[in-house]
Amino acid sequence: MTINTQHGSPQFPSPSSTIASSSREIMDASIQTLVEQKENWIHTPVATRIAIVDALIADFSALAPRWVAASLEAKGLEEDSPYAGDEWVAGTWTLLHSLRQLRQALVDIQKDGHPHIPGPVRTRPDGQVTAQVFPFRSYDRVLFPGIRAEVWMQPGVTAETLASTQAINYQSQTSEGKVALVLGAGNVASIGPMDVLYKLFTDNQVVLFKANPVNAYLGPLLEESFRSLIQPGYLRIVYGGATEGSYLCQHPDIDEIHITGSDKTFDAIVFGPGAEGAARKAARQPLVTKRVTGELGNVSPVIVVPGPWTEQDLAYQAEHIASMLANNAGYNCNATRVIIQQKSWSQRQALLQQIRDVLSHLSTRTAYYPGARERYQAFLDAHPEAEQFGTSNPQHLPWTLIADVDSTNADDICFTTEAFCSLFSETALEATSVVEYIERAVQFANEQLWGTLNITLLVHPGSLKDPAIAAAVDKAVAQLRYGSIGINYWAGTSFVLGSTTWGAFPGHEIYDIQSGNDVVHNSLMFSQPQKSVLYAPFRSKPAPPWFTNQSRISRKLFKQMVQFETAPSWWKIPAIIKTALSG
């Protein structure tokens, strides 16, 4: 088996599926139904759409336990596994949470023509407009204490014109109906359904969803829970691999394509596979000329800003960094891949040692994603000094740290290639001051690491008391070319908040797509976002439930959170808080 690992996301081998591929007759019939209903969808009243969302919430809530059980079985996890919480939070709660936000956005559109922004809108000194989008509702201030998030708009958007850039497909009914093909991702159970919702409710397009063979087992459950969209002909679900995907991408009645996955798959769609596709790309002659959007991979960095860290701080942030990798066994496009430190920081090695301690106590997981072992081996071949923690056998890969990667080696696999497995690296930059280091770290992340999806900065509040460092951090946030930025909070949580955007920093053309060319989630339906920025305390209390040392409570907590989103009520909050504090 040949695995293309150099530069970008992996080219995944073709996986097998437990669901038979759809025939061309079935695919054609599905598309024909969508063609017949695409004009009806764009004229569907907002009140009817709200009723559809209500049905989606009720139907998905009812089968959420079955959804989680199917995911656990496929990933080789028992119901009481310390990692079972991953499937409750990213697989079910995230979807229900986003549906709740979508419903509120539609209510606002029905009343005022655009979603209401829940927090202040500000104009920065450079003229860039930011809108606080989280907390989205009063419940969130209690459920996510200390967490807030902003969406920064592209230059040119003003505070006065911001509302006119929201829900633009609801402001005019002059557009023609379209059929969108959504190619599902195989790693996180909520990705496909949320992409479907975005194309339907924000882009106003009916959807043909092709399940990814890796998690096609969820397809029948999706058909059951999304029946309020399927019955009137606004959604169809089909199955298959690359052959079926190629047929659908080139189908004349498919108007647009959206993929969450690898830049290699994106290129194969747009230019065709193999040498012929590479030649078309080089000649700038795409095979598919319809609009193709993607949310793709990233070599996700964590910038560690030196400061007066205590032993407790080191332990907390080591758990934080390791948890960014361990979530979903590292099969996430937002997993930690490169830890960036200042070479002269006196606590650099202490932080690394704390990370080693965390990894050494983590049980390993089934390497369920196709090609994982081959990708892993490519990194070990390049870095035989890699440190491995835990079990390594035909089913499991160890947690792995590659420390002290030479930051001047621009072609190092750790910087150019998304591992998409249980492995990350650390590098250090020379700098004579913290301010200089921050500037160099921003340049390194922007210019040397592949992708623009998400980045996390860890900065101690004591450091921010220095006006020069505070200014450098603010400048860094403005200059970082990433779609999501987390300050003291994993930027990957932008994926689950819903009101934040999720996708690459804008500007990638199809000839150098990197992390993609559009956003999803974005429940306030901004049409010109640039990035999302999350802010959190340096040490959240209680610790986030996705931390590995909170695994004892995360499964129970997110079951409660799922029940909460089914029918939100202040009466349910005390039990949730009690569970969160019991860890």
Q: Label residue 6 by pLDDT band (50, 70, 90).
A: low
pLDDT for position 508 = 96
What mean pLDDT do residues 81-89 have? 93
Q: How far apart are CA 89 and CA 111, in angstroms?
A: 31
Q: What is the 3-state secondary structure (H, E, C) of 247-265?
A: HHHCCCCCCEEEEECCHHH
List the Cα angle 547/451/431 in 5-degree steps. Answer: 80
Confidence of residue 16 (pLDDT cuts 50, 70, 90): confident
- Rounded Cα gap, residues 355 and 527, in angstroms: 40
Percent with pLDDT over 90 in the chain = 94
Over residues 344-366, the pLDDT tens digits come to: 999 999 999 999 999 999 999 99
Check residues 394 and 239 and name the one with the higher pLDDT: 239
Question: Are 574 and 582 within 8 A, CB to CB?
Answer: no
Q: Cα torsion for 170, 171, 177, 182, to the nearest 10°?
A: -50
CA gap 425, 340 in Å, rounded: 9
- Structure-block tokens of residue 404: 């002290």
Q: What pLDDT digit, counting tens, does each position of 225-235 carry?
A: 999 999 999 99
**How many CA atoms, within 13 angstroms, populate the side-chain half-sphere of residue 115?**
28
Determine the pLDDT at residue 434: 98
User: ∠ CA 489-327-299 to the nearest 5 degrees?
Assistant: 70
CB-based contacts of 382-385 (< 8 A; 24+ apart in sequence) = 382/412, 382/413, 382/414, 383/413, 383/414, 383/425
243-299, pLDDT tens digit by residue? 999 999 999 999 999 999 999 999 999 999 999 999 999 999 999 999 999 999 999
Question: Could you tell me the two tokens for 226?
Answer: 């999304």
Q: How far apart are CA 477 and CA 159, in angstroms?
A: 20
What is the torsional sign of CA 198, 204, 205, 206?
A: positive
Q: Give residue limits of the domains in the chain.
A: 26-118+169-295, 300-482
* Closest to 98 in 3D by CA, of 491, 443, 556, 561: 561
Residue 70, φ and ψ in degrees, nearest 5 = -65, -40
Can you tell me the distance from the alpha carbon of 366 to that of 445, in angstroms, rounded to the nearest whole number?
31
User: Using CA atoms, how far apart are residues 200 and 236, in angstroms rounded to an integer?
Assistant: 12
- pLDDT tens sequence across 142-156: 999 999 999 999 999
For residue 7, name the pLDDT band (cuts at 50, 70, 90). confident
Integer-rounded Cα radius of gyration of the chain: 23
- Locate 343 and state its tokens: 């070479």
Sign for the pseudo-dihedral over CA of 375, 380, 386, 391: positive
Predicted local distance difference test score (pLDDT) of residue 15: 78
pLDDT bracket for residue 4 (50, 70, 90): very low
CATH class belonging to 26-118+169-295:
alpha beta
Distance in angstroms between the alpha carbons of the first and the last residue of the chain: 44
Residue by residue, DSSP assigns 186-232 as: SS-TTHHHHHHHIIIIIS--EEEEEPPGGGGGGHHHHHHHTHHHHTT
Rounded CA gap, 547 and 288, in Å? 42
123 close to 117: Cβ distance less than 8 angstroms: no
What would be the CATH architecture of the domain defined by 300-482? 3-Layer(aba) Sandwich (3.40)
| Gap between the Cα atoms of 516 and 509, Å rounded | 8
- Distance, in Å, from the CA atom of 210 to the CA atom of 206, rounded to the nearest integer, reads 13
3-state secondary structure of 99: helix
pLDDT at 583: 58
- Angle ∠(138,152,167) on CA atoms, nearest 5: 70
For residues 428 and 407, what is the distance between their CA atoms, to the nearest angstrom?
6
Q: For the chain, what percentages of helix, strand and coil (3-state, to nearest 5) are there?
A: 45, 15, 35
Identify the band that residue 10 occupies on the pLDDT scale cut at 50, 70 and 90.
confident
Instruction: Give pLDDT, residue 372.
Output: 94
Structure tokens, 415:
């910087």
